[in-house]
Structure 1
Amino acid sequence: MLTLALGVSGCAGSPASIELSADTVIVDVRTPAEYATGHLDGAVNIDLQSPTFDDVVADLDSDTDYVVYCQSGNRSAQAVSVMEDADLAVQDAGGIDEAAKATGLPVVP
């Protein structure tokens, strides 16, 4: 039920606060060009629109927690669905502005 609630809130905005551990991986699922215009500090770019997205997700560490965001929240919700299907612990942070507020991480160039 919690996952459903977070998924729904990702559509309307991210959770108010997301706790990050030292091991949490922040994933930006926008295109590399979008990522280059500004991303959350420390985020890795895994482009949802890339034909290799599913393969990259399959290779991710299942013992790691992931927080995913995009531009508006649409692609992050899609990515979270794929990542959950791969049995990864993942949270949808919505769009970049909501993700920055929820995580406390700055947007950097």
Structure 2
Amino acid sequence: MFKFLKGVSAISTTELSERLSGEIELLDVRSPAEYRSGHINKAVNIPLDKINTYDGKEKQVYVICQSGMRSKKAAKLLRKKGYEATNVRGGMSHWSGKIRGGR
């Protein structure tokens, strides 16, 4: 695992793909319109501007956006709230796995 600036850990989309076979909490911080246009099946949409309202039970969360920038910001905010947040480098623009549209 690669450590990013200011203690935000990051994984590649390939590593995320491997972890999706287990039970993980994946947050998609893109806008609702971006999420509806195509997202990873297990992803829950919590737009970046609403990330402070996130109150999940799992302490380990993975965060994805389109390119990795918004998710990095979200991961920093979640870490301040006590979550073990991991950014997905490259985001959906590097994702080559299955996606689904709609909600």
Q: Same fold (TM over 0.5)?
A: yes
Q: Which moved more, 1:32-41 or 1:17-26?
A: 17-26
Query: Does residue 81 of structure 1 match 2:76?
Result: yes
1:60 to 56, 61, 68: 56
TM-score, length basis structure 1? 0.71
Amino acid at match of 1:80: A
Aligned to 2:64, the other structure's residue is in SS state strand
Matched ranges for 1:1-109 at <5 A: 3-4=3-4, 7=8, 14=12, 16-18=14-16, 19-20=18-19, 22-50=22-50, 53-56=51-54, 59-61=55-57, 63-94=58-89, 95-98=91-94, 100-101=95-96, 105-109=97-101
Q: Hey, what's the Cα distance between the residues in 2 that align with 1:92 and 1:17?
A: 11
Q: Is the 8 A contact 2:65 2:92 kept in 1?
A: yes
Between 89-98 and 67-76, the greater mean CA deviation after superposition: 89-98
Gaps spanning 5+ residues in structure 2: where? Answer: none
Q: Distance in 2 between matches of 1:84 and 1:64?
A: 10
2:75–2:86 Cα contact (<8 Å) kept: yes
TM-score (norm 2): 0.74
> Tell me, what secondary structure is at the counterpart of 1:33?
helix
Q: Is the 2:2–2:10 Cα contact (8 Å) retained in structure 1?
A: no
Q: Is the 8 A contact 1:23 1:64 kept in 2?
A: no
Query: RMSD of aligned C-alpha atoms?
Result: 2.8
Report if the CA contact (8 A) 1:28-1:43 is conserved.
yes
Q: Which structure 1 residue ranges, 5 or more long, are not aligned?
A: none
Query: Does the C-alpha gap of structure 1 residues 42 and 71 become closer, same or farther in structure 2, counting only changes over 3 Å?
Result: same
